[in-house]
Structure 1
Amino acid sequence: MAFSAENRKGTINGILFVAIFAAAATMISEINFVKSLGISPLVIGIVVGIFYANTLHNNTPKEWSGGITFSAKKILRFAIVFYGFRITFQQIAEVGLEGFMVSLIMLSTTFILGTWAGQKFFKMDRDTSMLSASGASVCGAAAVLATEPVLKAEEHKAAIAVSMVVLFGTISMFLYPLLYNMGVFDMSAKEFGIYVGGTIHEVAQVVAVPASIPGASEEMANSAVIVKMTRVIMIAPMLIILGIYLSMSAKKSGTADGLGGVKLVIPWFAVYFIGMAGFNSLGIVPQNIVDIINEIDTFLLTMAMTALGIGTVFAKFKGLGLAPVYTSGLMFAWLLVGGYFITKWVVAVF
């Protein structure tokens, strides 16, 4: 046990070790240049963690491993639950049925496409394919973190998925404003906001796109963020459905519990996440307190991401080649092109 009498000191030291790295990542994210790129402390945390894992990792006392694992697993679940304080149901209602439908269609189609193509076309394993698909279809790095415990995937596979989110999310952040300013997108301000929120990976990147467009209206920015947060809250039902699917797959293959039995894995932290969003929708907690909770939550997510990076050694990547890039590139093309036509169709119909 991580906090048993003999392990407690090492576990606490491991947690503090991760917290120091997370604090450094947070400070780096506040640098104006870094902030202008829309790079969150979560992404910086995993980069710092991976750098450490592949340079100085042998210097880490073995006794600290329990604290590092605790940060990557337990603190992660806690942070995902409190991520619900970023969302209210009233915000989701503001963009109406159009925003909801675009979010639902893009999330489901992108996840299915990435999972299927990753395994069938590019010969990746199931976990890496699903993690990459969750990052592209929902909300980037945070979605990868939330999906990893449901799949019980290895840490380096989650790191691969996060790196793909960073690559293609960053491309999106620069490409969308460029195409919009060139007149490629035949969309109103609200339509483009829904399109951006429904197709770009990270929340920070969604915020950055309207801010990069000269004269962008408040309606565009608000629509983008609210639709994005609609996608974020959909991570909870997605993870529950994924848990049911994994149980059914285990039953079909006769591998569940090694006896052919079915063990339904319900990601309760995802259920609690919805409950927290519902509680936040009541408006009981003052906004300044909510802001503080969100800052603390971001730090905890950064700790989880940093711990994930510390467990990632490049040697484990061998054999994958460019398959993750091809899979994520295919999803990116679908989000960019397919997302445009789906947004136009949904707005026209609803």
Structure 2
Amino acid sequence: MPSPDDLKADLVISALILPRLELRKFQRGFSLLPGLILSIVLAIAAISLGKAHLLQTHGISALTLAIVLGMLIGNTFYPAIASDADAGVIFAKQRLLRLGIILYGFRLAFQDIARVGIVGVAIDVLVLGSTFGLAWLLGVKVFKLDRTTALLIGAGSSICGAAAVMATEPVVRGRADQVTVAVSTVVVFGTLAIFIYPALYQLNQTWHFLSAGPTVFGVYVGSTVHEVAQVVAAARSISEETANTAVIAKMVRVMMLAPFLVILSAWLARSRQRNTLAQTDQADAKAANRGVVIPWFALIFVLVAGFNSLALLPASVVATVTDIDTFLLTMAMAALGLTTHLSAIRRAGIKPLLLGALLFFWLIVGGALINLCVQAALR
């Protein structure tokens, strides 16, 4: 049993330490404000600009505008205030991004899978797997890019553009410049898709490579175009029915983000372990394996999508949550732009763009072949 003197000493120590801990927490929270405020201002500007009809017509989303604005400020005025703003900017880029990915689940429902059927799911799986595998093969083996940049470009091209790049970054542990190079690459070719796919539809009406109906072409658009906004812009140029099917096929592809991240994390962990085993002893290998990144936010994202599938919340509440989610993701993209230096992008050179171009070509041609073969085999 502790003596009364010991208890008094403990109380005195607690009285001295606890206020200091609370003060440190308050100071840390206060240090986040400058960077968070800057990210909020840029997010508001990007969302406001994104409502312009011209930008919406061309599929330029608020996320794309946010990173552009962030880079403009980040390479001009930001260095002067970086010491004060960095803490909040990094918080937005990391923590708010994960929250944004989780809330993204409110845009999805498992019923979407039933709407496109086994054909749509099989097409999405094959497009995702082949595109990402090609990104790794070409990026690392042919273009000799660093593995992280190649994986990020592959994730953005094969799943859902900038959002997929941002979600993959914690798993591959990418730097800000690597993430920005990947985002820029998928944005360029995703924007080109908006103009190319309506022309492809007209060619298909003549050559009948795919079935001539708008539903079949909608699955093709949704399974191969990068961003959700770009899918909508490209498919609406064809018909409303094509747009509806394309968005459903795209959302099924987005649902694959979570299992993709889990599989990627496990693969990277095994790769690190093999490399360590080749260089050191087994004890060091086990230590390396303990550094596995578990994408918990991706797992919660699936749970949120499952909850949303139950339709327990009113539509107005879901709409509010998705608006909040858009704002959080836009803040994260703005923060990414603020911490990206143009010199780092210039150092990356032409190779990432060439990789993105080849993946874009594969999505158009290889994606059409996958759509054709799966539809022939399963219908």
Name the TM-score class by shorter chain.
Answer: over 0.9
Q: Does 1:327 align with 2:367?
A: no
What residue in structure 2 maps to residue 81 of structure 1? 102
Structure 1: distance between partners of 2:269 and 2:43: 35
What residue in structure 2 maps to residue 47 of structure 1? 68
Which stretch of structure 1 is more off in the superposition, 198-207 or 252-261? 252-261
Structure 2: distance between partners of 1:109 and 1:314: 31
Structure 1: distance between partners of 2:339 and 2:299: 27
What residue in structure 2 maps to residue 339 of structure 1? 367
Cα pair 1:131 1:148 within 8 Å, conserved? yes
Q: Does 1:233 align with 2:255?
A: yes
Structure 1: distance between partners of 2:89 and 2:48: 21
- Counterpart of 2:262, as a letter, is I
Q: Does 1:21 align with 2:46?
A: no
Q: TM-score, normalised by structure 1?
A: 0.95
Structure 2: distance between partners of 1:258 and 1:144: 33
1:34 to partner: Cα distance: 1.1
Match of 1:206 among 209, 231, 236: 231
Which secondary structure state, in structure 2, belongs to the residue aligned with residue 60 of structure 1?
helix
What residue in structure 1 maps to residue 150 of structure 2? 129
| Identical aligned residues as a percent | 41
1:208-260 CA distance string (max 9 Å, x none): 112112xx252x22221111001101000000001101110111011899922
| Bigger helix fraction | 2
1:78 to partner: Cα distance: 0.5
Aligned pairs for 1:1-350 (under 5 A) are: 4-182=25-203, 183=205, 184=207, 185-187=209-211, 188-213=213-238, 216-218=239-241, 220-254=242-276, 259-261=284-286, 262-263=289-290, 264-350=292-378
- Counterpart of 1:227, as a letter, is A
Cα pair 1:76 1:145 within 8 Å, conserved? yes
- Counterpart of 2:219, as a letter, is I
Structure 2: distance between partners of 1:140 and 1:51: 21
- Counterpart of 2:266, as a letter, is I
Structure 1 236/29 Cα, relative in aligned 2: closer, same or farther at 3 Å?
Answer: same
Structure 2: distance between partners of 1:52 and 1:122: 31
Aligned residues: 346
Structure 2: distance between partners of 1:88 and 1:114: 29
- Counterpart of 2:77, as a letter, is L
Cα pair 1:191 1:344 within 8 Å, conserved? no
Unaligned runs of 5+ in 1: none
Unaligned runs of 5+ in 2: 1-20
Structure 2: distance between partners of 1:322 and 1:235: 28
Structure 1: distance between partners of 2:315 and 2:374: 33
Which secondary structure state, in structure 2, belongs to the residue aligned with residue 284 of structure 1?
coil
1:5-34 CA distance string (max 9 Å, x none): 333222122111111111000100011111
Cα pair 2:128 2:159 within 8 Å, conserved? yes
Structure 2: distance between partners of 1:204 and 1:20: 22
Which secondary structure state, in structure 2, belongs to the residue aligned with residue 16 of structure 1?
helix
Cα pair 2:155 2:165 within 8 Å, conserved? yes
Q: TM-score, normalised by structure 2?
A: 0.88
